[in-house]
Amino acid sequence: MTKILVVNGPNLNLLGRREPEMYGTRTLDDLNDKLEALAKDLRVELMFFQSNSESDIIDFIHREGLEADGMILNPGALSHYSYALRDAVAAVGVDTIEVHLSNIYSREEFRRQSVVAPVCSGHLSGFGFYGYAMALSYFSDLSEGA
Ligand code: DQA
């Protein structure tokens, strides 16, 4: 079965309470439940991980990335400066879609660049939870040879 990692970085554990006008009122559990239901329909296996620690995220990618068929990654603020995270994605070579709930290009200047994006095969920004669902559908299509 196709196995996809769903990785959320710093502060995304606070979804639902954190700046709701920006990120909405639904929680990370709501997001994961939604993805799990979609994955069931698509016959895809998901592995969820969230951490506020850059090193724990890198260790997780090292540990699980080699075995996985793809990764949906919202690095949070690490997107904008973590060369270490970028190198981990490149080192493991796991096919990665970078996802952001908000449209990072319409926000503060420092958010408009992702240092992780160049080592990802795609980037979705501004679609809320639906961005994760799109990335999951993409990986499902890919596994069917679409
Ligand atoms: C975010 C955008 C980042 O700039 C921010 O630091 C986050 C959330 C998003 O999903 O829109 O933590 O990754």
User: Tens digit of pLDDT for each residue in 73-121?
Assistant: 999 999 999 999 999 999 999 999 999 999 999 999 999 999 999 999 9
Strands 70-74 and 2-8: parallel
Phi, psi of 72 (to 5 degrees): -105, 115
* 3-state DSSP assignment of residue 72: strand
Chain centroid to CA 29: how far?
14
pLDDT at residue 31, as a whole number: 98
pLDDT band at 144 (very low <50, low <70, confident <90, very high): confident
As a whole number of angstroms, the distance between CA 88 and CA 116 comes to: 10
Give the global pTM: 0.97
CATH code given to domain 2-143: 3.40.50.9100
Best of 111, 115, 134 for a ligand 1 pocket test (most atoms within 8 Å of beta carbon): 111
Which of 80, 81, 100, 138 is labelled catalytic? 100
